[in-house]
Structure formats: structure tokens, C-alpha cells
Amino acid sequence: MNLVVAAVGGAAALGLLALTIRRPVFGCAVLVLTVPLTAGLTRGAVIPVLKASEVILLVVLAGVVIHQVTTRRSRPVSGLDIAVGAYVIGSIVIPWTVLLLSHWSADLDTWRTVLLPALFLGVYYVFSRTAPTHDRLRIVLNSTLVAGVIVGLIAGAEILNLPGVRDFFATYYPGPSQASYRANSTLGHYSAVGAFGLLTFILALSLAAFRHRDFPGWWLAAVMGASALGMLASGTWAALATLPVATVIVLFYARRVPRELIVTVACAAVLVVVLWPEISQRIESQQLITAQGFALPESMQTRIRYWTEFIIPALSDHLWVGTGTVIPSTVPDRLTSFVDNEYLWAAFRAGLVGVALLVGMLLTIMSVAWKQRGDMDPSRRVMGAASLATCAMLLMLGATAQYITFAGLSQEIAMLVGVLAGLTAAVDVRRPAAVVVANPKESTALGLG
């Protein structure tokens, strides 16, 4: 049986490689569709050492590189390339150097964690170097939206406890256990499901706000509805709290409210009524409502206490370059899982330098995205709005978890940024150089005539 699975998997990988070399856009579409649907599979379930989502990325990346070499196609390095490259390279080189110089014992999992940002750079390269024509963009973005709908619907089926759904995903997509059930869908973690739903919602809302002709309104409304279902089913309060802020950013950027949003709000109200038993249970378990009013979720209060008592003091001795992703022994083993703040983890990985690289990358993306607001091309405006809201989402959600490292979610974020980079680079390449014609009289006066 294992030989059959290996043969089928090998044939599929070779087929995907050949397809990507010939038509990179189809490889990109397969990537954004299948990675979220395989991200929660355990490592080694399909191929030894690697996760299925990593194999798909490596195959598509190889195909794009071969296509670039054989067609001799290149483009200038952009500001986004520098920002993303600096973040990834710094996040790998600094902890690698710290581990080598400090002689800390590092196992295979530690080195794998050190190299993890390379996957983000790989996805960014794939989409930033694939020429983003309107037809290609439609294929890639529709594949992304389809993946978001599937993830959201599966999360909804989990929270409604449809027959056999929870058992299937608990077996093949194992996730963290919780006192009250929270949907992990195909991503393997409920927080990733919530943030993935928010990201898909942002993309669909951006397309609706600019009335992109390649995406029907009914389809975008359905995507936003499925995304809202996924967020509610995941019980991720951080994503739900960030949703209004991200929505306002997109609407302000586009300067209009699409009717699809109104339909989505109505559908979300119905979903809240249907899912109220599960939602109310989650509210009670987190003690969100007290006699004094609304309060921080109980889980967040616990994490803040552990951060201040154990984790931040352990980091204070390694403030500038971090610990190479190794959590010091002063933090009890049972509390190491609470180093789930994006900024704390960046500091353990590469110190304050790592935090600066992360924030600098996000701010650079936001700056480039904002500049697309007045562009004549609706595709660049859409990607600008989506990228701006996504980076704002990451800056806010980073205080609650390591969202930029979640499998499935990280690749979708890199895809958005890569497409934005490809679109803006295409503009710079097509823009003609300015030609200055000297006035003959001025030339004579300057002694040139």
C-alpha cells in the first residue's frame, strides 16, 4: 500500500513540476488551493521528514525557477524584495549564528524551526516572479477564494458536529485539545482557521469594493459568508475583534461600501443565531462578560501573566540577537508553548533586530500598498487594499499568536505580498524612461551650441 501511495505521489509531483514549468500560473493555482487543504497533515504522513504542503511548495518553486531560467526572464529588485528578503535572511542567519557560537544543543526540530522563514520567501518568490496578467490573476485569486470557502465550510461542519466530520479530522488533521470544541479544519489549529477566514474575507471584500469585473458579486458574497462561518467556528476572538478594523481599512481605501458586504452581515447574523449554543459556551469558558462589563479572555490573561513572570525575564538576557529559537531553561517546560506572541517569538529568534525586521517588512508592504490607491488598474488597487488590511491584521494579531508562521496561513500571506510585488514591478518595467529635450536657446547660452 505504501508503495502505491509513493508511486501516486511521485507521479503527481512530476506532473505538477511539468505543468509549472510549462504554465507557471497553474502551478501557482495548485499551490494556493492545496497548501491550505494539506497544512494540517502531520509531518511524514505523505513523505518522510517533510509535510505535504512543503512538498507542494518545493515542487512549484522548482518549476518556476526552471521556467525563469529557460525563458531568461528577469526583473529588477524592488523595495518589497529587499524588505521581505531582509526579514527572511535575518530571521535565519541570526539564530543560526547564535546557535553555532553559543554551542547550545540543537536537535533537528530546532534547525527546522530556524529555517522555517525560507518557506515564506519561497512562496513570495513564486508569485512575485510569475507575470501577473489579468487572466492569470483571476485563476490564482479564484483558487485562493475556493480554498477559503472549503476551509470555512469544513470548520462549520466541525462545530455543528455533523456525523463523522470531527473523527475524520481528529485522525488525519490532529490539533490542540480544548475544553470547549474549536474547529481546526484542514489547517490543524483553530487560531489559524480564524485568521485564514479573516484573510479570505479581506481579499473578497477588496474585490467587491472595487467591483472587479472578473469576480461576480454572488461569488464574493458567498466567500465572505464562508469566511465568517470559519471565524465563528474557530472561536478565535482575536480574529473576530480585528474583523471590523480590517473592514474599515478596506472600505476607507476603496471609498465605497459594496452591497455584498450588507448581504454578508445579514448572513453572519443568521450564523450567530444558529451557532449561539457553541458561541455562548466559548464566552462562558473565557469569562468575557463579568459584573464589571467586558474583560480580556481568560486565556489571554493567563498568557500575559506567564509572559511577565517567566518569558520576558528569560528573554532580557538575550535582548539584542535572541536565543536562536531555543527557550531558556528558566522557563518551565510546561510554559514554553506560551511563547506564542509574534513579537516575543521574533525576539527569541533574532532579538530586537528580528522584531525590527518583522515590523519593517510589514510597514514597507503597507507603504507600497497605500501607493496603489490611485492607480488606474483595478487589480493593483485590489491587491493594495488587501495587502494593507492584511498587514494591519498581522500587526494587531501578533500580540496574541504567531500568525505569520502558521502553516497554510503563512503561504497565503506571502502570496498576497508576492502578487502585489509582481504587479508593481510590472508597472515599473513598462513605464517609459523620461526624455529631456533641451531648449536650443538654453543650449547656446550654456555654450553647448
Q: Does residue 289 sit in helix, strand or coil?
A: strand
CA dist 300 and 321 (Å) reads: 27
Burial 123-156 (b: 16+ CB within 10 A, else e): bbbbbbbbebeeebbbbbbbbbbbbbbbbbbbbb
CA dist 410 and 31 (Å) reads: 12
pLDDT tens digits for the chain (449 residues)? 467 767 787 889 899 999 999 999 999 999 999 999 999 998 877 777 889 999 999 999 999 999 999 987 777 889 999 999 999 999 999 999 999 998 777 888 889 999 999 999 999 999 998 867 888 899 999 999 999 999 999 999 999 889 999 999 988 898 886 656 788 999 989 999 999 999 999 999 999 999 888 899 999 999 999 999 999 999 888 899 999 999 999 999 999 999 999 999 998 888 888 888 777 776 666 655 555 555 676 777 888 888 888 899 999 888 999 999 988 888 888 888 888 889 999 999 999 999 999 999 999 999 999 999 988 999 999 999 999 999 999 999 998 888 998 989 999 999 999 999 999 986 554 554 444 444 544 433 333 33
Cα-based torsion angle of the residue sequence 113, 119, 120, 122 in order, rounded to the nearest 10 degrees: 150
- How many CB atoms lie under 10 A from the CB of residue 9? 14
pTM: 0.89
Of 146, 129, 176, 114, which is closest to residue 35 (Cα–Cα)? 146
pLDDT score of 291: 54
Of 309, 321, 383, which is closest to residue 351 (Cα–Cα)? 321
Q: Where are the domains of the chain?
A: 2-285+296-426
Q: Extract the C-alpha cell encoding 338.
A: 506560551
pLDDT score of 211: 86
First-last CA distance in the chain: 85
pLDDT score of 426: 67
Total length of the chain: 449
Q: Does residue 16 sit in helix, strand or coil?
A: helix
CA dist 383 and 381 (Å) reads: 6
pLDDT score of 126: 95
CA dist 213 and 345 (Å) reads: 41
The contacts found for 428-432 with CB under 8 angstroms, 24 or more apart, are: 428/76, 428/78, 429/75, 429/76
Element (H, E) at 290: strand 289-290
